[in-house]
Amino acid sequence: MSTKPKLYYFNGRGKMESIRWLLAAAGVEFEEEFLETREQYEKLLQGGSLLFQQVPMVEIDGMRMVQTKAILSYIAAKYNLYGKDLKERALIDMYVGGTDDLMGFILMFPFLSAEDKEKQRALIVQKATSRYFPVYEKVLKDHGQDFLVGNNFSWADVHLLEAILMVEEKKSDVLSGFPQLQYLSGNQELRIMSGKPRLTYLNGRGRMEPIRWLLAAAGVEFEEVYLETKEQYDKLIKDGFLLFQQVPLVEIDGMKMVQTRAIMSYIAGKYNLYGKDLKERALIDMYVEGISDLMQMILMFPFSPPDAKEKNLESIKERATNRYFPVFEKVLKQHGQDFLVGNKFSWADVQLMEAILAVEEKVPDVLSGFPQLKVFKTKMSNMPTIKKFLQPGSPRKPPPDAHYVETVLKVFKK
């Protein structure tokens, strides 16, 4: 199973383009296999990959999905682009449906004769300007928000932007009577094009490592800026990047986020790793905070004076074995599920996996009395995104060494 979603289609827009748009808008990288020959198509058929003998087909999370709408719904829900409740979802479905009808006029355009093309171009512009665009213009004007539904970026916005650009290709000034849509398209383009989250921290684990874990587990690629000098750090403060003059800093979705916990909540929420309701969220928060307390001891370990190291190591071992790991061993044993909360992969699982590996580096046999955690570790290691993160060359950082400690002290010297 590949880590990234893999898309099977022709090397052109067609029905796959909306899927590409939605993945791109969610910040998810994907692979593509372009169908060029009949043999390729037949191979897919024979392998049983195409439920209705049709593409688009997308391999994602161990499934071979067909039916464009079903694929889009799955991606929208997975990456939190599908509203916060059923009513928002209904609204998004209606808007996406309308936009889709408009796009239907465009999809067949390339296959028309030159004469029919001119007629179709006029029809597309007429439908866009008299039926569909006025709806969205009014919605945006009436509620005065940046996005179509629930003041949140959603699939409806992504789909509309795709349609706007397609209609603009047919008539470049088609938005001239639609000021709200002009704003929306500029705004969303920026958002979608703004690309990967950018992480600023030292070139080591520290407080950024759980953020790297979470993004990696969510399958999100990111860029990193490493602080090597005090001047770099002072400049960030001077330029107003660091709200409390501290890193981690994560630039994401147009925000300059600081405070590890806030950053991780945002990422967990955005990528649907934060439970299905407030109660699941509360449980995830409790687990994550407990694990963070343990991780705090590991975080500070390299900075402890040599004569305190042995004692501190003993405390880490004691707390892991007697306080934290037994909790998760019991949770997993009692509900018998693969994941800590709600039978679904969440931020809590990511955090526990990071902690298990970090403690094992210090106390290799720490899991000897925890059979459930051993199974959990194996399962987590085989999740495609985590598997990839654990491989050499990933953004995962090595344990802190003397050079790292020196750099931290140098960069943050008062």
Ligand X SMILES: N[C@@H](CCC(=O)N[C@@H](CS)C(=O)NCC(=O)O)C(=O)O
Query: Binding residues for ligand X, per CB under 6 A?
Result: 206-207, 245-248, 258-261, 412
CB 291, min distance to ligand X, A: 14
Q: Measuring CA to CA, which residue among 206, 186, 226 is closest to residue 400?
A: 206
By beta-carbon proximity to ligand X, the closer residue of 109 and 412 is 412
CB 260, min distance to ligand X, A: 3
By beta-carbon proximity to ligand X, the closer residue of 269 and 326 is 269
The type of residue at 223 is E
CB 412, min distance to ligand X, A: 4
By beta-carbon proximity to ligand X, the closer residue of 247 and 352 is 247
CB 411, min distance to ligand X, A: 8
By beta-carbon proximity to ligand X, the closer residue of 247 and 386 is 247
By beta-carbon proximity to ligand X, the closer residue of 25 and 411 is 411
Cβ atoms of 319 and 294 within 8 Å: the answer is: yes
Task: Measure the CA–CA gap between 383 and 61, rounded to whole angstroms.
Answer: 9
By beta-carbon proximity to ligand X, the closer residue of 126 and 245 is 245
Task: Measure the CA–CA gap between 252 and 235, rounded to whole angstroms.
Answer: 20
Q: Measuring CA to CA, which residue among 27, 21, 44 is closest to residue 218?
A: 27
CB 234, min distance to ligand X, A: 11
By beta-carbon proximity to ligand X, the closer residue of 246 and 321 is 246
CB 384, min distance to ligand X, A: 29
Longest CA span, the chain: 86
CB 241, min distance to ligand X, A: 12
